[in-house]
Amino acid sequence: MAVLEAVMEEIRGECTVIAHVACNNTHESCELAAHAEKTGVDAVASIPPIYFHLPEYAIAQYWNDISAAAPNTDFIIYNIPQLAGVTLTPGLFREMRKNPRVIGVNNSSMPTYDIEVFLREGGENCVVFNGPDEQFVAGRCCGAIGGIGGTYAAMPELFLKIDRLIRDGNPEQAVPIQHEVNAIIEQMCSCRGNMYAVIKRKLQINEGLELGSVRSPLPGLVPEDMPKVEAAAARIREAIRTFA
């Protein structure tokens, strides 16, 4: 909790903060949501309950309880069925939109068509974020207002360039950058260590940031990974020179 307070103090309103608050029980999730609201975040987000396959009315109750714990803060549903094991259906989303604090979806399902579905079902003032970094261009062109991604920190210049091109009406110029981004992601995922361990080391190499490694059970880097990490870091530097 102290980390979020420090973040909010540091940014002082200069950017939007969405705090993910979901735990695998409602009580702790509500505590985190209430704390997030006290720190002044712009929105809270939550995946559905995992492990147990709950009926949709129980998932809706879980999300609405979390939202009620932060009644003055907007709520965003995090749809990532490939990891959570639960899919946000159009019917469940319609039910959640009855809650005026539910403003949209961070959509990390792989079909970009889902973005269109949630925008249509959500109606006026609904926002949808693209989740999978590998389809950022496609997601934005399908109507996503922006993106929330795991690899943005490794190469923010490339994603910002893609976003500017799309906003300027030139998505075709963004496609080659997307292809290069995807090749870099594949490279970062080819190590024995977890991709986020690769990103942390890349930030040390390219930006001089000392961020440590990942927490277990995520696997850290091994010596055999280092040539791949160095190559990925070099490829990012070259891509930024070329495109951004």
Q: What is the pLDDT of residues 208-238, one digit of tens each?
A: 999 999 999 999 999 999 999 999 999 999 9
Residue 152 has pLDDT above 90, yes or no: yes
Residues 16 and 128 placed together within one structural domain of the fold: yes
Check if the beta carbon of residue 32 is closer than 8 Å to that of residue 2.
no
Domain, as residue range, for 201: 169-244
The answer to the question of residue 192 being in a domain is: yes
Give me the half-sphere count of Cα atoms (radius 13 Å) on the Cβ side of residue 75.
Answer: 30
Torsion sign (Cα): 38, 39, 44, 46: negative
* CB neighbourhood size of 138 (10 A): 16
Number of domains in the chain: 2
The answer to the question of residue 121 being in a domain is: yes
Residues 180 and 132 placed together within one structural domain of the fold: no
Residues 131 and 13 placed together within one structural domain of the fold: yes
Residues 211 and 122 placed together within one structural domain of the fold: no
The answer to the question of residue 155 being in a domain is: no
CATH (domain of 71): 3.20.20.70
Residues 4 and 63 placed together within one structural domain of the fold: yes
Residue 6 has pLDDT above 90, yes or no: no
Residues 179 and 225 placed together within one structural domain of the fold: yes
pLDDT score recorded for residue 140? 97
Residues 12 and 93 placed together within one structural domain of the fold: yes
Give which of 236, 102, 100, 141 is closest to 181, Cα–Cα: 236
Give me the chain's average pLDDT, please: 96
The answer to the question of residue 159 being in a domain is: no
Residues 105 and 33 placed together within one structural domain of the fold: yes
Residues 198 and 92 placed together within one structural domain of the fold: no
Residues 179 and 125 placed together within one structural domain of the fold: no
